[in-house]
A and B are shown apart, each in its own frame.
Chain A
């Protein structure tokens, strides 16, 4: 069977088609991070005369992490809608398979996230001209963001398990994302141990280490601390941070699917 006819791929393509038809959702999904990036640039950008680097470059990883957080809202809405419109129950009367629904939606959400990250990259690096070490490091940054995006989708599925309708889902997702983003110190500095428990902290910190602070792969991976500009210092080396992020991603996706399955078993 052709790849494009695999059920999970058919579901992913259908999701993408629907998403692009409700352009308002895309506009508001992308609008906030773009807006914040531009506003903060206008407020804080300042070129260091010694290095020639714009200090705002240190804030870009946090901005991109924030943009990726919106995967939570998107996933929460998609899964809640399928549940509340009865589509999910209808799909259950066909040989669809829940695993194809989860896999297909993970694929489509990853594609939106990729799109979102690319838009943020273009804005930050091509248009606003922010500093980054090199293209390889940028690729690492991209992958870390995508991984964090999938983690966010997992949180979105958890939210969808409890939401009765789309309005509730997007409301819960937003009221969840904003405090977590602030508590993680990703967007504005937050000097507290709390950040370690916030997934966006790790995403931002790894991204920052690689694309701005770092100096070569080995130094990045084995540097004994993840010292961030205006963020708490930690004794965990960066590869530890990556493992923590991967573990958290699997955990949230797992919990999300388990909960959603449990809550939609009638």
Chain B
């Protein structure tokens, strides 16, 4: 099961299109997702994420184009694909009048797992996500519990390829941490994961690779660091010195740093230093400073984010 060792591309999306009447929900997307990778698909609501995942998981027929999951075509080899994948839908979907345990065991049995083993796995996994032992019907669960049940139902058969559609939307910060850790653990086991989210923090925290989707099209594609480097604009380091003299010393030091082009003085003793590049450049500036200056009054650092990337590419904010 899963992707064969020699094949490194696990999900291959070839110019996939889906139109709903005159709405171009997915407008010609091509992507390659490698085996063992956690691939984040980041985009605002209505960007086409769910439509794309519904095609990849074989329930929605594409208007044109194709995709291969582990070499199986989503158009002609649905039966093979559904044996490989786990799908966590955006909306919580389960049987309202069954308990969490009954829901998960049912799903496990649909994957052909024997009853006894289904029970054991279910207990272990519900335990891990903190919803074990609840005898209530699923419809009486809190929103957070429902969301986690929804997730467990997509994982119980330990799929090698996972599709998670906004798995933490609406969760409180604590529950979100639990789910994030859980997703990291899944990734650690070598699973290939396609994570859809409109949350740039989530995409940044979990993904090896990110594609940004807007209006049904991929507008950027790379590692989080690459995207921020290329499209994120500048990081800004703001330093307040004790002495005015230190400002002059620091300016001299900055002249020796190639990636710092300009700076702004702010009041008598404060410097604003914009620069490109990742955290290693940040460290270089600090290093250069500490060669000549022993102490400063205050420092603030604002790192560019995927939010900036989206803003720079589209002129809009992700949340809008």
A residues in contact (CB < 8 Å) with B: 4-5, 7, 10, 14, 17-18, 21-22, 85-87, 89-96, 265-266
Contact = CB atoms under 8 A, between A and B. Distances in A.
A94 B111 contact: yes
Of the listed residues A89, A93, A95, A265, the one surrounded by the most CB atoms of chain B closer than 10 A to its CB is A93
Nearest to A101: B110
A4 B106 CA distance: 12
Contact of B137 (A5, A21, A87, A89): A21
B61 interface: yes
Interface of B: 54, 57-61, 79, 82-83, 85, 87, 89, 91, 93-98, 102, 106-107, 109-112, 114-115, 137, 153
A79 to B, nearest CB: 14
A197 B135 CA distance: 49
8 contacts: A5-B114, A14-B106, A17-B97, A86-B93, A90-B93, A93-B58, A93-B85, A95-B111
B93 A18 contact: no
Contact of A95 (B82, B93, B96, B153): B82
Given A93-B85, A94-B111, A85 B93 contact: yes
Contacts, number: 65
B109 A7 contact: yes
Closest 7 CB pairs of A and B: A93-B87, A86-B93, A21-B97, A10-B109, A93-B57, A96-B110, A90-B93
Contacts of B112: 7, 95
A10 B106 contact: yes
A120 B106 CA distance: 33
B51 to A, nearest CB: 10
B59 A89 contact: yes
A85 B150 CA distance: 13
Given A18-B97, A266-B59, 18 more contacts: A5-B109, A7-B110, A10-B106, A14-B95, A14-B102, A18-B95, A21-B97, A21-B137, A85-B96, A86-B91, A89-B54, A90-B87, A94-B82, A94-B111, A95-B110, A96-B110, A266-B54, A266-B61
Contact of B58 (A10, A85, A92): A92
Nearest to B60: A266
Contacts of B79: 95
Nearest to A265: B61
A10 B97 contact: no
